[in-house]
Chains A and B, each alone.
Chain A
Amino acid sequence: MSETNSPSPMRILYIEDNPLIAFHVEQMIEDLGHVFAGSLDSFAELQKQFASLEMDGALVDIDLADGATGPQAAAWLQERGIPAIFVTGQRQVAAEHGDVSLGTITKPVSSSELAAKLELFR
């Protein structure tokens, strides 16, 4: 498994409504030596759970269980000092909301792209 030689592990939240993708990315995050802070399936759930979560950054899908609320979730996190990166197949939509994210990871997620993009949270 590829381990990063990063100075310290980061806590990563994942907002994604497909549990299989969430699980897959969770495994990759842990294999990279980071800490998985949990997965949430909607913007509503993020607002509900936020107070009880600790994270250094969030990965955010565009289409969530409560609609195309990913950009809203990213903006909401930005207001609270948490940086976000979109994880999506919809690069164009992600680009339109570039002001609320540090970048975009393309689906299906590869471990190498994930490793590189997570460093943007530092």
Chain B
Amino acid sequence: MNTIEDKSLPALDQVLILAPYRKDADYLGRLLAEHEINVRAGARIDDLARMLHPSPGVLVATHEALTPDALATVAAHLETQPSWAEMPIVVLLDRASRPDQVRAELGRVWPRARLLFYQRPVTAVELVSGVQSALLVRLRQRDVRDHIAQEVELRRELNHRVKNILASVTSIFEMTRRGATSIDAFADDFRGRLGALDKVHSAVFHSEGDTVSIAEIAELTFDPYRLSGMDRIVANGPPVTLSREAGTTLALCLHELTTNAIKYGALSHPDGRVQFAWNLSQDETPELAISWKESGGPDVEEPSRAGYGTRYVRSALAGMFGQKPVIAFEADGLRCEARGVFSRVAGNQ
């Protein structure tokens, strides 16, 4: 899984020591550092707000440090923390104090802290393991924070994709409407195009890497027609993986070519065939070439005005490859060829 590497988010792995007596601060700092704990010693009460600013992982405070000012400063800091945060605070109580009283008081002023109490004298082992487990608690909180950040990012991306799909559907709707001769023809064409969009979306989703192979696109486009007894479409080529965008464009183009062939082209005739092939050149900058060739269909005549399908295929392949495709109405069947630099359409591997 991806981790959020946002430098602006604190690592929450540092222990801040708040001890007014220099000797205590030094001792605690040394002890924790010896156990490979990332420690920041020497926080002074008048400087506490600044030291708390890049949220520490754990705060360790001696009893003497708990002045009204310090309590208020820490409380103000806790107040600004997001809901997933519950800073662990390790309090080293005086030998003579009454823990219940202090616990009640701190629980009141620091409601959003996770308090741990030790009464001095405390053994090094006890203190170190207490701080270590407090740090672990804090790192679990950090995981929650990172998951939340990731979810926010995913939601933003999802919103972008949904809007994009709706814009695509709107365009398909408008274009289909413009070319439609009847409401039934409109419904059939619109349903078919949405179906093609839906299938390639599913294929990209299941591939996990936001990519889709040409063989898969060919299969999902041609399969429904094969089931209805049309096994006259032959598709072959090496394994080639396309980006989501290029895959979607190719799927929609193949859909248009296929439905066009069924209505007017080779597949409208019992002996007609279609050969769909693709190839990747072995140059330093590989080129992808795709070709669609119909044969054995009815006599071909170039239509006086290109229909939606042809215009779409021409424009979409030009956009996809960065150069215009060849669409030729040859005597024995339609031929469509396109090529371009592979890196432009490649799925990231």
Contacts and interface: CB of A to CB of B under 8 A. Distances in A.
A21 B319 contact: no
Interface of B: 160, 163-164, 167-168, 170-172, 174-175, 178, 245, 248-249, 252, 311-312, 315-316, 318-320, 322
Contacts of A17: 245
B255 to A, nearest CB: 12
Nearest to B179: A27
A23 B175 contact: yes
Interface of A: 17-24, 26-27, 38-39, 41, 45, 63, 65, 89, 107-108
Contact of B171 (A23, A38, A41, A89): A23
A107 B167 contact: yes
B104 to A, nearest CB: 52
A24 B316 contact: no
B171 A24 contact: yes
A17 B167 CA distance: 11
Q: Is the interface of B mostly helix, strand, loop or mixed?
A: helix
A65 B252 CA distance: 19
Nearest to A25: B171
Closest 3 CB pairs of A and B: A24-B171, A20-B171, A20-B168
Counting chain B CB atoms within 10 Å of each CB, which of A26, A63, A89 scores highest? A26
A94 B251 CA distance: 32
Counting chain A CB atoms within 10 Å of each CB, which of B170, B248, B315 scores highest? B315
A4 to B, nearest CB: 17
Nearest to B311: A27
Contacts of A41: 245, 319
A63 B167 CA distance: 13
Given A19-B320, A23-B315, 11 more contacts: A20-B168, A20-B172, A20-B252, A21-B171, A23-B312, A23-B316, A24-B171, A27-B178, A39-B315, A41-B245, A63-B160
A107 B166 CA distance: 11
Nearest to A39: B319
A108 B174 contact: yes
A26 B167 contact: no
28 contacts: A17-B245, A18-B164, A18-B167, A19-B245, A19-B248, A19-B249, A20-B167, A20-B168, A20-B172, A20-B252, A20-B316, A21-B167, A21-B171, A22-B315, A23-B175, A23-B311, A23-B315, A23-B316, A23-B319, A24-B175, A27-B175, A27-B178, A38-B318, A39-B319, A41-B319, A89-B163, A108-B170, A108-B174
B11 to A, nearest CB: 28
B167 A108 contact: yes
Contacts of B175: 23-24, 27
Given A18-B168, A19-B245, A63-B160, A24 B319 contact: no
Nearest to A38: B318
